[in-house]
């Protein structure tokens, strides 16, 4: 199954502060990677969180194949997977356990979860660290573990928030290749990044400044 995410003129504000996003529209379609660029504080993470159902916009709407997304459970049911900037891993579990727990929580049988976990960790170059505790891994290895978890879930939509920020050049390219492979699989991929070269390799790009979006390429 493939899915299209439509963001239609959303405005998001935290409390009484000025809006983080103002009248922002975007579309992520199956088979393509959409880059979301912009300086720190521009609203990139907030946009991905809205797509993931973690934030409900004060104005506008987010839909997946026409289904309104206002809560995380709805997004999960529609196959929306988020790889957050803060990796969200359990430090007291191993890299393998972190991935397997997510798969089993999403309905995978234990044997299938083990197989998919091993495959995903191998894809990100962490087969040799599968049984290490997350707290023993470097920042870059933790980031790759979170990416492996996202890949293993095989979502219809993959939201990747600054997932290459702590990686060296070789691993950064490996992850970019994996994001494009997810698009070829049929997923709609959204990639928030500060890296202009990585953004240039994506199929489309929107740029955020002060909460407002400009289409760079569509």
DSSP-assigned states of every residue in 42-89: SSHHHHHHHHTTSS--SEEEEEETTEE--SHHHHHHTTEEEE-SS---
Separation CA 13–CA 23 (nearest Å): 11
CA-CA-CA-CA torsion sign (134, 139, 145, 146):
positive
pTM of the predicted model, to two decimals? 0.94
What average pLDDT does the structure give for the chain?
95
Tell me, what DSSP letter sits at residue 74? H
The 10s digit of each residue's pLDDT in 83-125 is 999 889 999 999 999 999 999 999 999 999 999 999 999 999 9
pLDDT, position 1: 63
Separation CA 26–CA 5 (nearest Å): 8
10 Å Cβ neighbour count for 76? 18
Give the pair of three-digit tokens for residue 90.
Answer: 């359990």
Pseudo-torsion of CA 190, 106, 150, 67, nearest 10°?
Answer: 0
The 10s digit of each residue's pLDDT in 128-171 is 999 999 999 999 999 999 999 999 999 999 999 999 988 999 99
């Amino acid at each position: 199954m493939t899915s299209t995410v439509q963001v239609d003129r959303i405005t998001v504000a935290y409390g009484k502060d000025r809006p983080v996003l103002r009248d922002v529209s975007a579309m992520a379609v199956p088979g393509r990677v959409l880059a979301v660029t912009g300086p720190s504080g521009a609203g990139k993470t907030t946009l991905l969180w809205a797509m993931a159902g973690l934030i409900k916009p004060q104005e506008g709407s987010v839909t997946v194949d026409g289904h309104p997304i206002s809560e995380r459970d709805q997004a999960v049911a529609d196959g929306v997977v988020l790889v957050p900037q803060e990796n969200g891993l359990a430090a007291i579990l191993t890299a393998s356990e972190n991935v397997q727990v997510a798969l089993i929580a999403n309905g995978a049988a234990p044997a299938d979860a083990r197989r998919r976990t091993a495959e995903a960790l191998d894809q990100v170059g962490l087969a040799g660290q599968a049984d290490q505790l997350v707290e023993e891994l470097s920042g870059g290895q933790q980031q790759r573990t979170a990416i492996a978890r996202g890949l293993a879930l095989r979502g219809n939509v993959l939201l990747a928030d600054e997932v290459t920020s702590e990686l060296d050049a070789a691993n950064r390219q490996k992850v970019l290749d994996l994001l494009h492979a997810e698009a070829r699989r049929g997923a709609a991929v959204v990639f928030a990044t500060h890296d202009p070269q990585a953004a240039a390799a994506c199929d489309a790009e929107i740029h955020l400044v002060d909460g407002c979006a400009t289409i760079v390429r569509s």
